[in-house]
Structure 1
Amino acid sequence: MKIVPRISTRGYYDLGTGKTLKTNKYYLYPKKDFKKFVNSKEITIMIHGLRNDNAGAIAKVVLARNRLKKLGYPYPVIGFSYDSNTTGAHLKKYAKRSLGVGLIIAKKNGKHLGKFIEEFKMLSPKTKIRLMGHSLGSQVILSTVEYLSKKKKNKSIIDSVYFFGASITEDVPSSKKYGKLLDIVVDKKIINHFAPTDEVLKWADGKRYVRGPLGLNGASGRPIKKYHQKLVKPKNHRFASYAQVLASFP
């Protein structure tokens, strides 16, 4: 099987508590592939959701790459792999706790992905960077945006963002706090694929584990102008199902 290039922070956080174990920025695998991406016209980074170990993270990149290839996208698709396989995530009785830990880890990973984007853009300033996030991956993207927006020079550093089954809350695109932060994404380029039929988000909303997930009914309030949403009908919450209903890219 072909090696899937990825930015990784695996082993940086405790899977039971979310406690920081390592303070490294990130590591690249395989390093030589990333040298090839310098001066590429663009790259897309796929960020997986909860309950994905390293193999799961790789599988999501392969799904994204294959789908984008079918849609005529010729540029590199790489992965961002983080500690989302939190303890007990597969058991309903620990679901709330493991989601809470996953959320802590996803938020902390914003600075890691943010640092990679800053450093890659220094090497390759003209490369467009697109981010795709599934489920909890939407929180990693939001925290990345939060990290990057602290510096004025990062305005428009991300070319576009694509959410699938997003677990961040529905008020984010219209909130004063995040609306301003999302300014670092190039104009009209935040696209949320939402599905009122998504059984996992429906369950999380019903249990009040996630109140009003953005991926369930779309945005509430008056979202910022660069935000757009598409109603989709995936078979289920899995990224494979969302990839199947993705109709165009970028």
Structure 2
Amino acid sequence: MKSRIPRISTRDFYDLGSGKKLKSKSYDLYPKKFFETLVGVPEITIMIHGLRNNKSGALAKFSIAQNRLRQLGYEYPVVGFSYDSNTKGIQYKSCEKKATNVGRIIARQNGHNLSKFIIDIKSKFPHLKIRLMGHSLGSEVIIHTLAKLKNKNDVVESVYFFGASTPADYITPKKFGRILQKTVRHKIINYYNPQDEVLKYAYETGLIEKPLGYCGLHGKSMSKYVQKKVTPKNHRFVSYAAVLKSFP
């Protein structure tokens, strides 16, 4: 029987039509027992999905991450971070601009939620290493999580972006680059694809300014940042996972 993938959830915490915060709590945990029994576990990887994922879609992405990392010999727990990314009207061209903007608003606010979890779990298990893996809009959740952790040195072990929709300039020193350099202990790897059809469309229609997963970064970055050009079949996370050759 397939093991249940533990997850951190902020589902129904935000309004899918406006991005307005609906709940004051920071997150829910499923199953709670898993997060209480991490004594002796050396590390976990948290996977953050992208836009247009409901609860079941998010769980499917977590399963893909878990299966691929196991194939690559990763023996530690994979945890999912599930948030309100299935914004209203995202499937319609007439609404896509607003729905994308609302998704980005929700992703940004979830930086607070995920950072709070990281602070809480590290207070209980100080030696636990945490790796963050984000697909598409999940990259923005990660950026804003690290921004909230700006006073914590080396709190996250490493970061992996796949088809990142976050603007490329977010990781420059003028934006969040110095914070990433401080909060990430080891490395930030950006797997980008200049043929990514979804990010190309988002860029050419002005939905997102120069997506990191499509354009890569040109110019000054930080020493812990590495980018790797890959050629997945399409923008789906399963395609990006398939081209991942090693982890961590």
Could you state the TM-score of these two structures normalised by the residue count of structure 1? Answer: 0.96
Secondary structure of 1:235's counterpart equals: coil
Distance 1:136 1:37 in 2: 28
| Structure 2 residue 162 is the aligned partner of structure 1 residue 164 | yes
Q: Which residue of 2 aligns with 1:212?
A: 210
Residue 180 of structure 1: how far off its partner (Å): 1.3
Aligned to 1:85: 86
| 1:199-232 per-position Cα deviation (integer Å, ceiling 9, x unaligned) | 0000000001111100002112211110001110
Give 1:247's aligned residue: 245
Q: CA offset at residue 33 of structure 1?
A: 1.4
Q: Deviations over 1:12-52 (max 9, x none)?
A: 00000001110101010110111233431100000000000
Q: Does 1:130 align with 2:131?
A: yes
Task: List per-residue Cα deviations over 1:169-196 (Å, max 9, x = no partner).
Answer: 1122223231111121013x10000000
Q: Within 2, Cα distance between the matches of 1:3 and 1:246?
A: 23
Aligned length: 246
TM-score (norm 2): 0.97
Structure 2 distance, partners of 1:38, 1:24, is 25
C-alpha separation in 1, matches of 2:174 and 2:46: 27
Which structure has the highest helix share of the two? 1
Q: For residue 159 of structure 1, give the secondary structure of its aligned residue in structure 2.
A: strand
SS of the aligned residue for 2:168 comes to: coil
Q: Where does residue 196 of structure 1 map in the other structure?
A: 194
Distance 1:172 1:127 in 2: 27
Q: Which residue in the other structure is 1:186 paired with?
A: 185
What are the within-5 Å matches in structure 2 for residues 31-50 of structure 1?
31-50=32-51
Counterpart CA distance in 2 for 1:24 and 1:78 is 20
**Runs of 4+, deviation exceeding 6 Å:** none
Query: Do structure 1's residue 142 and structure 2's residue 140 form an aligned pair?
Result: no
Provide the rounded CA distance (Å) in 2 between the counterparts of 1:97 and 1:145. 26
CA distance in 2, matches of 1:172, 1:15: 25
Kindly indicate whether the alpha-carbon contact (under 8 Å) linking 1:37 and 1:76 is maintained by their aligned counterparts in 2. no
Equivalent residue for 1:108? Answer: 109
Matched residue of 1:37: which SS?
A: coil
CA displacement 1:124-163 (0-9 Å, x = unmatched): 11111000000000000000001011x3xx1100000000
How far apart are the structure 2 equivalents of 1:244 and 1:180? Answer: 31
> Percent identity of the aligned residues?
55
Runs of 5+ in structure 1 lacking a partner? none
Which segment is superposed worse, 166-175 or 117-126? 166-175
Q: Please tell me whether the aligned partners of residues 198 and 236 of structure 1 are also in contact (alpha carbons under 8 angstroms).
A: yes
SS of equivalent to 2:156: coil
CA distance in 1, matches of 2:108, 2:15: 14
Q: Which residue of 2 aligns with 1:70?
A: 71
- Mapped to 1, the partners of 2:24 and 2:211 lie a distance apart of 30
Q: Which runs of 5+ in 2 are unaligned?
A: none
Offset, 1:4: 1.9
Distance, in Å, in 1 between the alignment partners of 2:25 and 2:122 is 19
Contact 1:172–1:219 under 8 Å retained in 2: no
Partners of 1:35 and 1:71 in 2: how far apart? 27
Distance in structure 2 (CA, Å) of the matches to 1:107 and 1:174:
18
CA contact (8 A) 2:169 2:175 kept: no
